[in-house]
Amino acid sequence: MIVRFFAGKVSVKIKIAIICLIAQFFLVGIALSQPPTDSVIIDTLRTPPPDVTPVMVKSVVAKDNPNDDGRAVIISWDLSVDDHAGGKVTSYKIYRSEKRGGIFAEIGEAPSGSDQMMDNNVTRDEEYYYKVSAINELKEGGKTIWQVSSESDVVGPAKAVAQWFDTRRLNVFVGMIILCGLIIYYINQAKSGKKLFIRKISGLDAVDEAVGRATEMGKKIFFIPGISDVDNVQTIAGLTILGRVAQLAAEYETWIEVPVSRSLVMVTAKEIVKEAYSKAGRPDAFHEDQVHYLTDDQFGYAAGIDGMFVREKPATVFLLGNFYAESLILSETGNSIGAIQIAGTGQPSQLPFFVAACDYTLIGEELFAASAYLSREPKLLGSLKGQDIGKAIILAAILVGSLLETFNIFQLSKFFRVLE
């Protein structure tokens, strides 16, 4: 049809106009199919102006980072003389190679004013070479307009080596030696027969009284070792006291019952009570059901014990171990039946409930000191005394150091720093 139209009797001007119109539409289509010219990024750098190249850095040093396991190299340098406010240095780039004449790859960049960088991506006992380049560049809208640099001499080889000791923790080592020395000294003192002074703990002194009260009344003793497993130090401390209480109960022929909420605690407590009866010379009086499992559920365990309290009305209740929200439930029920209660825990949030509802409360470290206090075994007593003296030294250092630094006399705190 188009060929017939152009072959027909149409004037030449009309034909030319139509051809031009078709060509114009064709060119417009091509233009629309191209991406916009402003989306093309041109990364060509302009020629920098004269006299903008910074002076190279000097005294470049690459050395192993001390007090680590051989995983870092420190690169330091003297600042370029052109590194100042309004100077010619905008940054420093650090390059690394495994050979002095090898290919150097950029490993990091430091801002102007920096004179050190740490290379954390190294292999232990491998040698590396470094050089530092002082950079001066101009950027506009995030694009580099021009850039010049001057490189330092190559330094190396530098090698990352693992150290046996972290000298920054030397004060910790000295403190440990002092503490161990005190413990050994007081253990020897206790073994020699010297009487060591240990502060009186009323709750532990009342253990004999509490067991004797149950014996006189002909009622049970309940020992609750908390709701945690044997991986909790408070549970271990409570089970240690259980051995002493069970031995007294065996000597006085008083029934002691230990309901637990963890299977491993049940096995451990059963062996402790059995051994205590053997020490008391009454192995035949021990019964397997004296130590029994209730449930792992926190409040189910508390409800079960409360039921036994109300039904059997024991004369004495020991609550020694790790407790949470169930502490008040247990101690209030024990208080309501008139039982003498000795409690102890390392949980600060639960101590107020025990103090309010129990006759005696072991606060914090008193629970952990109970084994030494009750047994009077020389090794335990010496360890306890040595640790107490160590704590006293630390408290004195804090007090004296605070006063010295308050009046700007001496910075005692520098001897207690561990990390730089």
Q: What is the DSSP string of 320-350?
A: EEE--THHHHHHHHHHHTT-EEEEEES-TTT
Q: What is the mean pLDDT of residues 188-196?
A: 86
13 or 307: which carries more pLDDT confidence?
Answer: 307
pLDDT at 219: 93
Give the domain ranges of the chain. Answer: 58-159, 169-196+379-416, 202-368
Are the CB atoms for 221 and 211 separated by under 8 Å?
Answer: yes
> Tokens 């049970």 map to which residue?
220
Confidence band for 204, pLDDT divided at 50, 70 and 90 = confident
Average pLDDT, the chain: 85
Whether 202-368 and 58-159 are alike in CATH topology: the answer is no
Rounded to whole angstroms, how far apart are CA atoms 238 and 230?
10
Fold of 58-159: Immunoglobulin-like (2.60.40)
Confidence band for 14, pLDDT divided at 50, 70 and 90 = low
Confidence band for 12, pLDDT divided at 50, 70 and 90 = low
Phi, then psi, of 4 in degrees rounded to 5: -65, -35
pLDDT at 193: 83
Rounded to whole angstroms, how far apart are CA atoms 122 and 120?
6
Q: What is the mean pLDDT of residues 21-33?
A: 59
* Lookup: tokens for 322: 């790790």
Phi, then psi, of 364 in degrees rounded to 5: 60, -115
Rounded to whole angstroms, how far apart are CA atoms 48 and 53?
9
* Lookup: tokens for 221: 């003793």
Give kind and range of the element (H or E) at residue 298: helix 298-312
Considering the domain 202-368 in this protein, what is its CATH number? 3.40.50
Confidence band for 418, pLDDT divided at 50, 70 and 90 = low
343-365 pLDDT tens trace: 999 899 999 999 999 999 998 88
Give kind and range of the element (H or E) at residue 233: helix 233-251
Q: Has residue 9 got a pLDDT over 70?
A: no
Looking at the DSSP assignment, which residues form a beta bridge with residue 73?
64, 119
Phi-psi region of 291 (alpha: psi -120 to 50; beta: other; left: phi over 0): beta
